[in-house]
Structure 1
Amino acid sequence: MKEAVTIKEIARRLMISPSTVSRALQDHPRISVATKQAVRALAEELKYLPSTTARNLRQGKTGMIGVVLPEIRENFFSEVLNGVEAIAFDRNYTVALYQSHDRYDREKQILDVLAAQRVDGVLLSVAKESRRFEHIQRLIDLQIPVVLFDRIPPDIRTHQVSCDMEKGAYEAIKWLAGRGHRRIALLNGPHPLVASEERYRGYINALLEEELPVENALIKRVDLTRADIHQKMAQLLALPEPPDAVLAFNDYVALDAMQVCRTQGLRMNQDIVFVSFANLPLNAYLEQPPMASVEQHPFLIGQTAASILMEVVQAKEPVTDWKQVMLEPKLVLHNGQG
């Protein structure tokens, strides 16, 4: 690989000081127009590229932020990343992407690595296995800014960006009740996830308001694996009075559960109706998608989280006013449903 051209090389050829070259490249007013023109012409001829590493070191920054999410293959998180990169690229920041694969030990190891690298900040959506959060607090104690998004653990005082899943679940149940459904099941996510508890509260509140039955038998928690989803959906269908509608944790859970219903001869969106979360783009290509899905605005979540992090990183004084941004959900109907 060809050795990079440095400011010292430009200075040597023009027989001026490296500091003069640096100021000329920065358009310093005390450098003459002739010198600026000469420096820029030679820099272009030699294909000089400024060293962002050197600049960041002078500013006490690395120019890098860490993004830690459960699974990049999930459309929601890939869209979040797109939103993050849109902001980071515009601010000349490098994004270091890590996947926890929903494992606590891996998440902890990743945050230890990012702390050792002294990244300028971290965006994090916690793994479903995580029950303890000292590893997150350690970053905050090291004064490395942290913005939590989507999956947000309780009792961590830092910046947060999410979508109002309680309201999304509430509106989904109200919509189902308005269509005449009376036995509505909940295929919820794992217990530790705050997002699961938010869905549960919205589900219960809407049922109570509609004077519909609240039955433990209609509420199932899944670990988000296909095997567990299939098992829990089969249990719901085996009830003496099975559900006529299901609110699923996300579109992936809904699609796996719908497979079980088909094997038992049920007609989708007729014998049983599914409403879920995430509003995956693939729904537009399915002949029988969930009847409706709650849009969580992942791209906007990524943009908002990254913007907050950039603001904190570039602040001259420590930021202790924790920002908590909660976006409004939107129930999106599929296949022309009304």
Structure 2
Amino acid sequence: MKKDKFTIHDIARELNITASTVSRALNDNPRISAETKQSVLQMAKRLNYQPNNIAAALRNGKSRILGVIVPRIDRSFFSSAVRGIEEIANTAGYNVMICQTHENFEKEVTTVEALLNAQVDGIIASYSKGTSNFEHFEKIKEKGIPLVLFDRTSDDLGVSQVAIDDFLGAYYATAHLIAQGYRRIAHYTNIRKISIFKERLKGYREALTEHGLPFDESLVQESNLQFEDGRQCMQKLMALPEPPDAVFSASALSAMGAIQMVKQMGKRVPEDIGIVGFSDESFASLSDPQLTTVDQHSIHLGNKAAEIFLQELSKGSKDFPRKVVLKPDLIIRQSSLRKGKP
């Protein structure tokens, strides 16, 4: 028998039994004898039978697949968050289908469509920087499928959310720089309409205000927060009539670019310029000097997102949506220790 893909009907034909008996045997139905189960499993293995999960999902309404959408999997924050999601989902018997949008809105829209076509039981997503509206996410809601947003969230959708207190993290970072004696502190931000960057900017401003320091719009640099952006923004800042003596960046990667440019200009970190990043990426502790960052507890955040999905799946819309905000921590390293102590 030569076929590219075998079905339960092929197994049934080979064993001279019904397809329904094969199906029950494969699902370990107690009504099927151990001998029949063993024969079915052996024949399934010999034919290299692969179950059609989508067809099964259509039959019983459950695919046991959880879709996860992230902007980029090569960032430590997102890869760790996915790990946290998998820890909970796998324990509950769910497989995780991971998709990247590469910060592209159109890619995000087609990804949502693909996951819906794959009959996933739920979607956990962090939307892209290029997302301009949420119509594609509304489709998920319309189908009654649980949707949980994490990190980059929105109250407009009316879905469950898990996030770090970005305002508090930014406040901690800026207040720490002030405590170290820095007085003219710049801020690297991204598209200000995205919730996490709005909140980080607010936290930065609040810390300045509470410590009697003025807010200077010229010290706020907007970019994509990549490594080269950090370098270029530092060049612009150092060209100001009154350059900054510190930078709080809304990303660790652009903070690393800032460190490199400061050193290239012949200045010292943290003696001349203090630098703090956001998100404790793996490279933060490997830089020279080591980078002070805000720890977003990404694994724990992923755990929470998966737990909410499972709860919502079992309880339906009752007691949902939920919003969970986790408290961040500031990890202090050499890049901001002007006084030599926290």
TM-score tier, shorter chain, comes to 0.7 to 0.9
Cα contact 2:5–2:50 (8 A) shared by 1: no
Letter in 1 for 2:158: R
The residue that corresponds to 1:190 in the other structure is 191
Structure 1 pair 21–126 and aligned structure 2 pair: CA distance change class (3 A): closer
Instruction: Report the CA distance between 1:264 and its aligned residue.
Output: 1.1
Instruction: Give the alignment's TM-score, normalised by structure 2.
Output: 0.85
Letter in 2 for 1:334: R
The residue that corresponds to 1:326 in the other structure is 325
1:147-296 alignment, distance < 5 Å: 147-290=148-291, 292-296=292-296
Moved more, 112-121 or 60-69: 112-121
Cα contact 2:252–2:281 (8 A) shared by 1: yes
Paired positions, count? 331
The residue that corresponds to 2:337 in the other structure is none
SS at match of 2:202: helix
Moved more, 293-302 or 132-141: 132-141
Structure 1 pair 225–174 and aligned structure 2 pair: CA distance change class (3 A): closer
Partners of 1:85 and 1:218 in 2: how far apart? 40
SS at match of 2:294: strand
Moved more, 92-101 or 187-196: 92-101
Partners of 1:105 and 1:10 in 2: how far apart? 45
The residue that corresponds to 2:24 in the other structure is 22
SS at match of 2:324: strand
Partners of 2:285 and 2:228 in 1: how far apart? 26
The residue that corresponds to 1:309 in the other structure is 309
The residue that corresponds to 1:86 in the other structure is 87
Superposition CA RMSD, Å: 2.9
The residue that corresponds to 1:103 in the other structure is 104
Partners of 2:20 and 2:196 in 1: how far apart? 55
User: What CA deviation, in whole Å up to 9, does each residue of 1:259-314 have, x standing for no partner?
Assistant: 22122111111111111111112222223122x21000111111211221122234
Instruction: Give the alignment's TM-score, normalised by structure 1.
Output: 0.86
Partners of 2:70 and 2:26 in 1: how far apart? 42
User: What CA deviation, in whole Å up to 9, does each residue of 1:133-174 have, x standing for no partner?
Assistant: 222122212222211010113411101011111001111112
Instruction: Report the CA distance between 1:77 and its aligned residue.
Output: 0.9
Cα contact 1:121–1:309 (8 A) shared by 2: yes
Letter in 2 for 1:234: Q
Structure 1 pair 117–320 and aligned structure 2 pair: CA distance change class (3 A): farther
Moved more, 13-22 or 251-260: 13-22
The residue that corresponds to 1:38 in the other structure is 35
Partners of 1:177 and 1:261 in 2: how far apart? 19
The residue that corresponds to 2:129 in the other structure is 128
User: Structure 2: which 5+ runs fail to align?
Assistant: 335-339
Structure 1 pair 68–298 and aligned structure 2 pair: CA distance change class (3 A): same
User: What CA deviation, in whole Å up to 9, does each residue of 1:170-204 have, x standing for no partner?
Assistant: 11112111122111111112212111011011111
Instruction: Report the CA distance between 1:5 and its aligned residue.
Output: 8.3
Letter in 2 for 1:22: R
Cα contact 1:8–1:18 (8 A) shared by 2: no
Structure 1 pair 3–267 and aligned structure 2 pair: CA distance change class (3 A): same
User: Structure 1: which 5+ runs fail to align?
Assistant: none
Cα contact 2:8–2:22 (8 A) shared by 1: no
Cα contact 2:11–2:22 (8 A) shared by 1: no
The residue that corresponds to 2:72 in the other structure is 71
Structure 1 pair 3–241 and aligned structure 2 pair: CA distance change class (3 A): closer
1:135-146 alignment, distance < 5 Å: 135-146=136-147
Letter in 1 for 2:35: A
SS at match of 2:69: strand
Instruction: Report the CA distance between 1:93 and its aligned residue.
Output: 2.2
Structure 1 pair 164–206 and aligned structure 2 pair: CA distance change class (3 A): same
SS at match of 1:256: helix
Partners of 1:230 and 1:144 in 2: how far apart? 43
Partners of 1:172 and 1:228 in 2: how far apart? 20
SS at match of 1:140: helix
